[in-house]
């Protein structure tokens, strides 16, 4: 504050000096010099006074700072002492409370442990009792099941013995069947018997697959030759002859263990000649111009013979294809007959196409009638639903009006007058 006053006085003196200098500029140079000297002297005095005042201020400030530091240090020491005392008191109180609480907790823990021990003992006793009861029940059930198991094992043993007896009987039947098979082989050793067997097998296959009017057995052609079977197929196939051939003698010799390799080779050669002869006979007898198709079927009743020809004698297959004779076994004949049946069915279906079309036209007309009648029925159902809604709304209004009459809530108001002929309003069914 003192420095600010001094600075203000200096400014005021400088202003006065400048003003006087400006007024006395007309005087001589001597006066200027005097004024400058006075001005310098005053500035020196002011500077000295400022230095002295700043020294005094610094001393006072330093003394005050020292005193405040001492007071702050004293205050800190006193606070630290007070805090240490408070800490000691608090720690003592905490130790006391913790010790008391620890004792109480120990007592509660001991009591709870005793209670839990007693509860565990009681639960263990109940568990042992229940386990004993369950063990008794389980042992009883196990004994029952063991008894049942013994009964079942006895029954199965008896059934096994019965089945063994039936197996013995079956074994006896199998032995008899082997003897019958030997007799069948002896029977097939005869050429006529083999031919009859092949014809019966062919007849069974054809009767099981084709309709009766599509085949004929022992059919005689115009040349006087007779085929085992003739198939009447639609154009362009036409009439197809099927003849059964059974070249078995030389085939069996080919695999006879008792014969030498030379005899087996001779049998193989004769087997090929037999098959070739059969192919030529069928081609010459059963392929007749303008009466049969351009091919015939040679039926081999034994799958083994058919497999032997196809596997090891391709030249016979080529010759048969050249003569337009188709070799078939029972399995491949079934495929051929199924194809023929599908062709016959397709032909009959094509014959009945115009009937199917007319029936479909009638069915379309009936469906149109059904559609129109169904639409009428839907309109009637919708109208009946709307009428039912109207009746429901009217019944609600009547019941509400009756409740008002019972509660004597009548008023002379035109809004409460019922109009039973009014149209229903969607969302306002409960209005009176």
Edge-to-edge strand ranges of the sheet holding 226-232: 215-220, 226-232, 239-244, 296-299, 325-328
- Taking alpha carbons only, the member of 389, 401, 398 closest to residue 427 is 389
Indicate whether 357 belongs to any domain: no
DSSP 8-state symbol, 240: E
What tokens does 184 get? 């069948």
105, 206: one domain: no
Q: How many CA within 13 A on the CB side of residue 267?
A: 17
Q: What pLDDT is attached to residue 61? A: 66
Indicate whether 320 belongs to any domain: yes
84, 207: one domain: no
Task: From 351, 368, 402, give the residue that closes a domain.
Answer: 351
Indicate whether 315 belongs to any domain: yes
Indicate whether 310 belongs to any domain: yes
Rounded distance between C-alpha atoms, residue 26 and residue 20, angstroms: 11
Q: Residue 288 sits in which domain range?
A: 196-351
Q: What pLDDT is attached to residue 282? A: 92
Residues 6+ away with beta carbon under 8 Å from 241: 219, 221, 227, 229, 230, 231, 282, 285, 286, 287, 292, 296, 297
Indicate whether 131 belongs to any domain: no
Q: What pLDDT is attached to residue 350? A: 79
- How many beta carbons lie within 10 A of that of residue 78, not counting itself? 10
Rounded distance between C-alpha atoms, residue 230 and residue 245, angstroms: 15
Q: What pLDDT is attached to residue 31? A: 62
209, 84: one domain: no
Rounded distance between C-alpha atoms, residue 47 and residue 44, angstroms: 5
72, 213: one domain: no
Task: From 67, 88, 109, give the residue that closes a domain.
Answer: 109
Residues 6+ away with beta carbon under 8 Å from 219: 226, 227, 229, 230, 241
- Taking alpha carbons only, the member of 205, 201, 233, 215 closest to residue 347 is 233
CB-based burial of residue 213 (10 Å sphere; 0-12 exposed, 13-18 middle, 19+ buried)?
exposed
Indicate whether 393 belongs to any domain: no
105, 216: one domain: no
Tokens 């030529």, located at residue: 280
Task: From 109, 131, 160, give the residue that closes a domain.
Answer: 109
CATH number reported for the structural domain that contains residue 339 in this entry: 3.40.1350
204, 86: one domain: no
322, 209: one domain: yes
Q: What pLDDT is attached to residue 128? A: 74
What 3-state DSSP class applies to 361?
helix
Indicate whether 128 belongs to any domain: no
Rounded distance between C-alpha atoms, residue 253 and residue 247, angstroms: 11
CB 313 within 8 A of CB 272: yes
0.85 exceeded by the pTM? no
pLDDT of the chain, 432 residues: tens digit per residue? 556 566 666 766 666 666 665 655 545 556 667 766 776 777 777 767 766 766 676 677 677 777 777 877 777 787 788 788 888 888 888 777 777 777 777 788 778 777 877 887 777 778 777 777 777 777 777 777 777 776 777 777 687 777 777 776 776 666 665 554 444 444 455 566 677 778 888 888 889 889 988 899 999 998 889 999 999 988 888 899 999 888 888 888 888 888 888 998 998 999 999 999 999 999 999 999 888 988 999 999 888 889 999 899 999 999 999 999 999 999 999 988 998 898 888 888 777 777 777 777 788 888 788 888 888 888 888 888 888 888 888 888 888 887 877 776 555 444 444 454 544 444 444 443
Indicate whether 151 belongs to any domain: no
Q: What pLDDT is attached to residue 57? A: 64
CB 268 within 8 A of CB 315: no
105, 202: one domain: no
What 3-state DSSP class applies to 255?
coil
Determine if residue 251 is left, alpha or beta; phi over 0 gives left, psi from -120 to 50 gives alpha, anything else beta: alpha
Residues 6+ away with beta carbon under 8 Å from 276: 316, 319
Q: What pLDDT is attached to residue 81? A: 82
86, 228: one domain: no
Give the number of domains in the chain. 2
202, 346: one domain: yes
- Integer angstrom CA distances of residue 141 from 33, 63, 132: 144, 108, 14
């Amino acid at each position: 504050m003192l420095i600010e006053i001094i600075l203000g006085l200096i400014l005021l003196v400088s202003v006065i000096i400048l003003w006087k200098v400006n007024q006395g500029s007309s005087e001589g140079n001597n006066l200027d010099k005097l004024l400058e000297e006075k001005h310098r002297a005053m500035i020196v005095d002011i500077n000295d006074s400022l230095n002295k005042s700043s020294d005094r201020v610094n001393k006072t400030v330093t003394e005050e700072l020292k005193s405040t530091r001492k007071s702050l240090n004293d205050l800190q020491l006193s606070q630290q002492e007070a805090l240490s005392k408070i800490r000691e008191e608090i720690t003592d109180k905490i130790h006391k409370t913790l010790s008391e609480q620890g004792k109480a907790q120990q007592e509660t823990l001991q009591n709870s442990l005793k209670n839990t021990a007693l509860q565990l003992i009681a639960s263990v006793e109940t568990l042992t009792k229940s386990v004993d009861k369950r063990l008794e029940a389980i042992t009883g059930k196990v004994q029952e099941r063991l008894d049942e198991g013994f009964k079942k094992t006895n029954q199965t043993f008896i059934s096994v013995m019965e089945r063994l007896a039936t197996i013995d009987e079956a074994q006896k039947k199998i032995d008899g069947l082997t003897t019958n098979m030997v007799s069948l082989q002896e029977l097939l050793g005869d050429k006529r018997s083999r031919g009859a067997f092949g014809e019966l097998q062919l007849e069974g296959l054809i009767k099981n697959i084709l309709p009766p009017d599509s085949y004929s057995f022992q059919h005689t052609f115009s040349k006087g030759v007779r085929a085992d079977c003739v198939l009447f197929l639609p154009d362009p196939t036409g009439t197809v002859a099927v003849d059964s051939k059974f070249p078995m003698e030389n085939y069996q010799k080919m695999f006879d263990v008792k014969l030498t390799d030379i005899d087996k080779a001779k049998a193989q050669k004769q087997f090929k000649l037999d098959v070739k002869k059969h192919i030529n006979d069928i081609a010459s007898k059963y392929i007749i111009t303008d009466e049969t198709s351009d091919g015939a079927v040679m039926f081999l009743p034994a799958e083994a013979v058919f497999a032997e020809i196809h596997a090891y004698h391709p030249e016979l297959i080529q010759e048969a294809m050249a003569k337009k004779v188709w070799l078939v076994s029972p399995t491949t004949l079934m495929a051929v007959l199924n194809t023929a049946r599908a062709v016959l069915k397709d032909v009959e279906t094509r014959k009945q196409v115009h009937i199917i079309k007319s029936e479909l036209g009638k069915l379309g007309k009936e469906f149109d009638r059904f559609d129109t009648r169904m639409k009428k029925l839907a309109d009637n159902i919708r109208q009946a639903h709307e009428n039912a809604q109207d009746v429901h709304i009217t019944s609600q209004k009547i019941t509400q009006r009756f409740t008002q009459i019972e509660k004597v809530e009548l008023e002379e108001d035109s809004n409460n007058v019922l109009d039973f002929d009014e149209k229903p309003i969607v969302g306002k069914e409960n209005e009176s």
